[in-house]
Amino acid sequence: MHHSLDPLGSCSSVSWISNGAVLTTSSARVDIQALSHSVIRVRMLPPSDEHLRLPPSFAVVQPGRPIPAVTGEERTDCVRLSTSSITVEVQKHPLRVSFLRPDGTAVAADSPAHGMGWTERGAGCYKRFAPGTHFYGFGERTGFLDKQRTAMTLWNSDVNPHTPGTDSLYVSIPFFIAFSGQSAYGIYMDTAARSAFNMGRPRFMPWTSEIDLAPLPYPEVDSEEYWFGTDEKRLDYYFFAGPVIPDVVRAYSDLTGRMQLPPLWALGYHQCRFSYCPEGQVREVARSMREVDIPCDAIYLDIDYMDGFRVFTFSPRHFPRPAQLMSDLREDGFKVVTIVDPGVKVDSQYPVYRQGRRKRVFIRRPDGRVYKGRVWPGVVAYPDFARPASRTWWADNHKALFDAGVRGIWNDMNEPSNFAADTGTLDETALHGEPGAEVEHAYVHNAYGNLMSQATQEAFARLLPNTRPFIITRAGCGGIQRHACVWTGDNSSWWEHLMMAIPMCCNMSLSGVSFVGADVGGFMDSADPELVARWTQMGAFMPLFRSHSMIRSVPQEPYALGEPYTSICRKYIKLRYRLLPYMYTLLRQCAQDGTPIMRPMVYDFPDDPATHIMYDQFMLGSHIMVAPVYLPSAAARPVYFPRGRWANLETGRIIESIGEHVLVQCPLDQIPTYLKEGSILPWGREMSYVGQREQELEVIDIFPSAAMSEGVFSVYADDGETLDYKDGKFGFVDISYNYRARGRLALTITSRDERYRCTMGVGVVHILGLPAAPKRVLLGGAPLFRVASRDELDRQGFLYDPAAGRLTLGLHVPSKHVTVEACF
């Protein structure tokens, strides 16, 4: 509440530092520094040294690029600091910070009444926002896309089931994007402690009552004000100037790091269940997948593979020959991913625990004894992943799994979860860190998942060198994308959760975590086959595509559903494999510059107000729009089409929109998906698993637009499993069209494979939205002949379908120096 903020007071002195200024008041020191022309760091530190006992950042890896030129100016009432794109204006009496765009508009201005200050728990800041501002990001949250008028606590928690009323979940990312409808900026508060945001949620009614309500975890704000704060006695935030949403997302991921390229198989379909056990059941899943012709790359072993839930062991009874099992599965194209929970069973006969004690790797209580909690194995000790030595010890323990043939690690329960405490987690006073330099759990809590995943990364680096890690985590904080992909934890087999996965994953994506997905079919409860079929359709277009289900729930595997559901799942899982060249290219782009893979409509269409709070459809890259069906028995759904032409991904049928909702038919075997005008979409081959067949671009869809008379898409390719790409061993197949000269459409396809041979076969090219048949078509200067039917396009020739407005070219050439010219 307002009165609980101890304000900063006035600035009594200013000194200039490289790229910034240090201002002092009676209760704080405020450092303001430009890290680039559009990123400003603001730090409020207590005058004493108490903050020095807080841990350094777990999230920030790149606090600045080449230092920009900053100009500074001090007046009696204010200090100004300017880069080429933003001016920080600090009012001195009392100290208030605001950011001015080049046109003079102030954004993220401290509230005149409060600004920054100390709270009972830590530190916080009040800022103003313009009415109509939308807020996106905040990591993993239930609810809709826009968090305007929402108050949130960020404290990693193992909650199940979760509902719209659930506050904290497993991943906490104190980052948001504020979008006014015209421009965007972002703020990242760098903390791994509990933090809270109140984005203009109105006051509660001031009724008096005898009931003694618990105090709110966050201060109240007025309706044009927001607040963010942390339990740390320091406030360290970064302001990203934008001015567009993609700039903010990229700058945030620049600061907190990029995802590493996972193995290509990680983009395939993953089948999981709590638990496939004993080993015969795992074999049965694998056999059924192949028998029923459902592509699949990964099978997961949940906790029951272990010996009494002891990490890094196999149950001698249920998994007596893990190496044999995994080698048989490998023959069949499956990778095995095992769950690894942090809790180590307290058992004096168990070598991992005994060694851990000897090496003093566990989190301790303030009295120096090992901290104990309770998870699946019973009483457990928790490794202190904040210590490098503990991480290395943990990493080395993976030998037992990797030697047996495990190729992916699933880090769960790493909030960390503790069934023995009412809080569900560790005591905040438990201690991390090296002896003599301990830090309380309260300040490390949200980073525990990051540190655990970092230890797992080390396991791959030490034990499987030159193999790309596949690590999936439940918990994390800012920067988790550097270490692992994330699934959204224990959702339920509810239609509401199918829908919620859209805004949830979009907000994760905007928070830097692009490789993300929700359990397909829903985890808790039993799913009916229609829900699984609809969810599989959507999952096929989401970055991480894993089906998972709770113990004792009805089987949710695609082959167990019965018809027509099994066939619908097959159709979309197969489609997913054909999308891999496109998806892998998006993944690579994200690893390069942080561009999100899956994103809300507002990311691509910020000028269209209808998209600003849109939560029930999304973009996969900038080319594909997906409008999932999230209601039972729905035979149609309204789909919003931003202005322009859109081609149905399956039928090629074109919708021309002025920016409107259209009721689209969607029988059970169809999910509305569209290709945006101007796009190029490469389709790969159908496969039962990644690497089963050599990749080819079987089909390329090209949808030239009137406005964009040329386009290019470069399909990324590398070996998909080693780190050789870091030495430049990758290539591209460049596909481009030029429709500038009316009456002539030129198309070129060529591979750049100097460092990695990526030339692949090109089958058929569809050119969509063409009003007339070409008079002639030349391939490499030689005429292509018109054929009479689609069947004849398995060899060279062309066919024009006037009803669909589609020209199909049968090319069947390698992707090297291909030139096609169509004359109208």
Active site residues: 412, 415, 490
Note whether 700 and 677 are within 8 A (CB): no
Nearer to ligand GLC, 228 or 487 (CB): 487
Give backbone dihedrals phi and psi of 742, rounded to 5 degrees, phi first: -55, 145
Positions 613 through 632 that interact with ligand GLC (CB under 6 A): none
For the chain, the farthest-separated pair of C-alpha atoms sits apart, in whole angstroms, at: 89
Nearer to ligand GLC, 169 or 459 (CB): 169
By CB under 6 A, is residue 721 in contact with ligand GLC? no
d(CA 130, CA 490): 36
Peptide bond preceding 543 in cis form (omega within 30 of 0): no
Positions 522 through 541 that interact with ligand GLC (CB under 6 A): 523
Positions 378 through 407 that interact with ligand GLC (CB under 6 A): none
Provide the 8-state DSSP code for 88: E
CB of 275 to ligand GLC, least distance (A): 7
Q: Tokens 């496969």 belong to which residue? A: 687
Note whether 541 and 673 are within 8 A (CB): yes
- Contact with ligand GLC (CB under 6 A) among 489, 628, 652, 704: 489
- R_g over Cα of the chain: 28
Bridge partners of 176? Answer: 137, 187
N- to C-terminal Cα separation, the chain: 70
x/- contact string, 637-656, with ligand GLC (CB under 6 A)?
--------------------
* Cα dist from 268 to 509, 546, 621, whole Å: 19, 9, 17
Amino acid at 534: R
Classify 57 in phi/psi space as left (phi over 0), alpha (psi -120 to 50) or beta: beta
| Residues contacting 197, CB < 8 A, separation 6+ | 138, 147, 150, 151, 152, 154, 174, 176, 218, 226, 227, 228
Positions 25 through 84 that interact with ligand GLC (CB under 6 A): none
x/- contact string, 247-276, with ligand GLC (CB under 6 A)?
---------------------------x--
Quickly list DSSP for 656-705: EESSEEEEEE--TT---EEEETT-EEEE----SSTTSS---EEEEEE---
By CB under 6 A, is residue 303 in contact with ligand GLC? yes
By CB under 6 A, is residue 412 in contact with ligand GLC? yes
- Contact with ligand GLC (CB under 6 A) among 249, 325, 339, 513: 339
Ranges assigned E (strand) in 686-753: 697-702, 710-717, 731-738, 744-752
Amino acid at 506: C
Nearer to ligand GLC, 419 or 756 (CB): 419
CB of 170 to ligand GLC, least distance (A): 8
Provide the 8-state DSSP code for 476: B
CB of 721 to ligand GLC, least distance (A): 26
d(CA 323, CA 400): 10
Residue among 480, 385, 367 nearest 432 (CA):
385
**Which residue lies nearest ligand GLC, judged by its C-beta?**
274
By CB under 6 A, is residue 521 in contact with ligand GLC? no
Nearer to ligand GLC, 169 or 339 (CB): 339
Look up residue 145 and give its two tokens: 């896309």
CB of 449 to ligand GLC, least distance (A): 12
Look up residue 211 and give its two tokens: 């009931």
CB of 187 to ligand GLC, least distance (A): 30
Nearer to ligand GLC, 302 or 440 (CB): 302
Positions 427 through 486 that interact with ligand GLC (CB under 6 A): 474
**DSSP three-state, residue 655:** strand
By CB under 6 A, is residue 490 in contact with ligand GLC? yes
- Contact with ligand GLC (CB under 6 A) among 146, 254, 302, 530: 302
Nearer to ligand GLC, 424 or 731 (CB): 424
**Alpha helices (H) in 410-447, listed in sequence order:** none
CB of 524 to ligand GLC, least distance (A): 9
* Cα dist from 771 to 251, 469, 680, 801, whole Å: 42, 48, 18, 10
CB of 264 to ligand GLC, least distance (A): 24
**Helix (H), strand (E) counts: the chain:** 12, 51
By CB under 6 A, is residue 190 in contact with ligand GLC? no
CB of 548 to ligand GLC, least distance (A): 6
Bridge partners of 661? Answer: 640
d(CA 636, CA 663): 6
Residue among 639, 645, 641, 642 nearest 663 (CA):
639
Nearer to ligand GLC, 279 or 490 (CB): 490
CB of 417 to ligand GLC, least distance (A): 8
Positions 540 through 569 that interact with ligand GLC (CB under 6 A): 548
Residue among 383, 374, 350 nearest 158 (CA):
374
Note whether 675 and 701 are within 8 A (CB): yes
Positions 97 through 136 that interact with ligand GLC (CB under 6 A): none
163 HSE (CA, 13 A, CB side): 1
* Residues that contact ligand GLC, how many (by CB under 6 A): 10
Q: Tokens 């402690």 belong to which residue? A: 193
By CB under 6 A, is residue 305 in contact with ligand GLC? no
Nearer to ligand GLC, 116 or 303 (CB): 303
CB of 549 to ligand GLC, least distance (A): 8
d(CA 448, CA 416): 7
Note whether 295 and 687 are within 8 A (CB): yes
Give backbone dihedrals phi and psi of 392, rounded to 5 degrees, phi first: -65, -40
CB of 440 to ligand GLC, least distance (A): 26
Q: What angle do CA 712, 722, 690 make, to 5 degrees?
A: 65
Nearer to ligand GLC, 170 or 640 (CB): 170
Classify 603 in phi/psi space as left (phi over 0), alpha (psi -120 to 50) or beta: alpha
CB of 304 to ligand GLC, least distance (A): 8
Q: Which residues would be at the binding site for ligand GLC (CB under 6 A)?
A: 274, 302-303, 339, 412, 474, 489-490, 523, 548
